[in-house]
A and B are shown apart, each in its own frame.
Chain A
């Protein structure tokens, strides 16, 4: 067994302290250290079953503590036993009401369980209401907890189709951490659903300029096409302008792409909106041929399956 002494967080931050590390980043770091130090299993080289066994033995002797329950909840999550994890988190909060990170994790878990219940047609989850759990954290004295809670509340509102509330929460969270791509995308979704297409486009353009994220660019392109479609009859000039912007992005992407189906579908949508069905069909046929090869497996990537369904629908 080769064992090397691990460099601790303190060592690394002392030796490699970044002069550009902002106060915000330091604050987030502190929270991250606290969060993840607490979340990880005690015997990290062992599987979660062994760690749970060990924690059970400890709890039998010492009685349950918030820390032990929180750690066991992490292991139950690793074992995909979300209900048991939620129960442990609830007990941990009951024992130590000041454990904000447990509350944050419980709310996140409750949202996951709610989504799973909804997907299987059930009325709700037995694990409790995420908004209720999260509420005390919105006024947390800890800025990073507060920001994380705002973003999570935005996500909850998004899943409840409460678009305006989601927009408000993501806007607040992004004001503090503007480069969180996932939040940018969720904000854009909420804005579009809330009828704020223009704001959505502004946010996505700004985010792409800053990050160059290809995911943001793809969503920007989709939003341009959808906004153009919505405005095609009432605001034809605006619609044409949006489609031109989308075309520029698509041409740029197709020039460099090895796998082209996603961008060929987008170009076909633009061509259809520009009343060029023959050219659109060519792109859709090419996309379908490529997708068929990539989907030649019995459990394919669901996003590609969806793409093929879309192509088949457009070809009808």
Chain B
């Protein structure tokens, strides 16, 4: 159970929609030891022992119930492989930081020692919206995470690259685990830095596919286009004496620099003073440039696919004037339209407190904005939409301008919302194009 399920369900009490929707084996019905709760449990599948933990809302302490059950469960399993999974990653610098957040720190400091002493092979986690995969590591429990004396194999684990990770046959304590953060299945991917134990960090959407064939476990990250962008293997044969890699090869530190001038607010359209950013400036948006999406592209249910031409990039999106972060180098003379969308969340009860929505946007030349599939603003595109947009008026981007989104609050929903914007250039040969929006909200006025 993760933090989103935790909005309406309680691991401590074992109640809520999550526990009504899923029936988990609390009495060891499919192998493993009874946990007497659906919040954490284990089961066997073929020669693999799977352990599911609750990192969200239970005591993660070493003498708390979950840790005591975990030790007992590890003592008993005789499967060839142990794969553990839970929500909050012990090692991540994606959209979350495992050196700062309690659940992540505690899973690393308090739970990882139990798993590694019990001979676990692989940990799968989510929460942080990114794909990160570690080297073969052991004993990396300290905060902040460092790579000193914890790397058992600093290779890439790819049989065709540096070679598979090697462990002794069977289950053995402290022979190394691989950590996979596979939070790249849906919500926007982002990155804060590089966890020192990671070998692969990918800012793209995809799924991880695991295969176990007797003594070999393989993991592949397959992106939305069906391309395998990471692959690793663990082979358990004979007797291997693990050793610490003294000076491991680490990934370079990650730095973000937007080498562009800061866009200022235009004086043309006054900004309200008490606005709150629902979508931040320079956020990551999905965009489709040079081809038209299906009609329902503005709806929440629509899934932008890489195979459909969608990409992900930081706004502003455009070309010319050297003011765009995501540059469309092929746009001039080829096409005049770009479609972009991103999501934002509202907790239960938040939409009722919003009195007005506003769009802050630097744009060149015109655009149409949609909220959850409903058109809420049209500027410089007098008629039509998409391929049928006509008579686009010329407009030069000169800082952020504020537009009230009239009657848009009614379209807000609890949790995920989608803001979509189609941008249009007035002609093919235009010297520039810019789409640089962010979303604001204003609280309801007090009665």
Contacts and interface: CB of A to CB of B under 8 A. Distances in A.
A258 B10 contact: no
B6 A40 contact: yes
Interface residues of B, number: 95
Interface string A1-38: 11111111100110011100100010011001101110
A213 B173 contact: no
Interface stretch (A163-171, A240-248, A269-277, A300-308): A300-308
Given A42-B346, A43-B345, A16 B21 contact: yes
B28 A215 contact: no
Interface string B387-407: 000000000000000000000
A41 B415 contact: no
**Max count, chain A CB within 10 A of own CB: residue among B65, B138, B172:** B65
B442 to A, nearest CB: 9
Interface in B329-360: 341-350
A57 interface: yes
A302 B415 CA distance: 40
Contacts of A259: 74-75, 118
Interface stretch (B184-192, B246-254, B425-433): B184-192
A130 interface: no
Nearest to A71: B347
A6 to B, nearest CB: 5
Interface stretch (B156-164, B230-238, B298-306, B317-325): B298-306
A32 B103 CA distance: 20
B186 A1 contact: yes
A45 B129 contact: yes
**Max count, chain B CB within 10 A of own CB: residue among A41, A80, A182, A214:** A214
B379 interface: no
Contact of A61 (B33, B276, B312, B344): B276
A35 B7 CA distance: 8
B283 to A, nearest CB: 11
B113 A301 contact: yes
Nearest to A27: B15
Given A2-B185, A28-B15, A214-B72, A12 B20 contact: yes
Interface stretch (B34-42, B212-220, B255-263, B363-371): B34-42
B142 A299 contact: yes
A211 interface: yes
**Max count, chain A CB within 10 A of own CB: residue among B64, B97, B117:** B117
Chain A interface residue number, banded: 35 or more
B35 to A, nearest CB: 7
A279 to B, nearest CB: 22
Contacts of B8: 8-9, 32-33, 36-37
Interface in B13-29: 13, 15-17, 20-21, 27-28
B276 A257 contact: no
**Max count, chain A CB within 10 A of own CB: residue among B13, B76, B192:** B13
A44 interface: yes
Nearest to A257: B75
A181 B74 CA distance: 19
A301 B33 contact: no
Interface of B: 3-4, 6-10, 13, 15-17, 20-21, 27-28, 33-37, 57, 59, 62-65, 67-69, 71-78, 95-97, 100-103, 105, 109, 113-114, 116-118, 129, 138-139, 141-142, 149, 171-174, 185-189, 192, 205, 224, 274-277, 286, 300-304, 312, 341-350, 414-416, 418, 443
8 contacts: A7-B17, A17-B20, A32-B16, A43-B345, A45-B187, A54-B276, A61-B274, A213-B34
Given A3-B302, A181-B36, 4 more contacts: A3-B187, A8-B415, A32-B13, A298-B149
Interface of A: 1-9, 12-13, 16-18, 21, 25, 28-29, 32-33, 35-37, 39-49, 54, 57-58, 61-62, 67, 71, 77-80, 179, 181-182, 185, 211-216, 218, 256-260, 262-263, 293-304
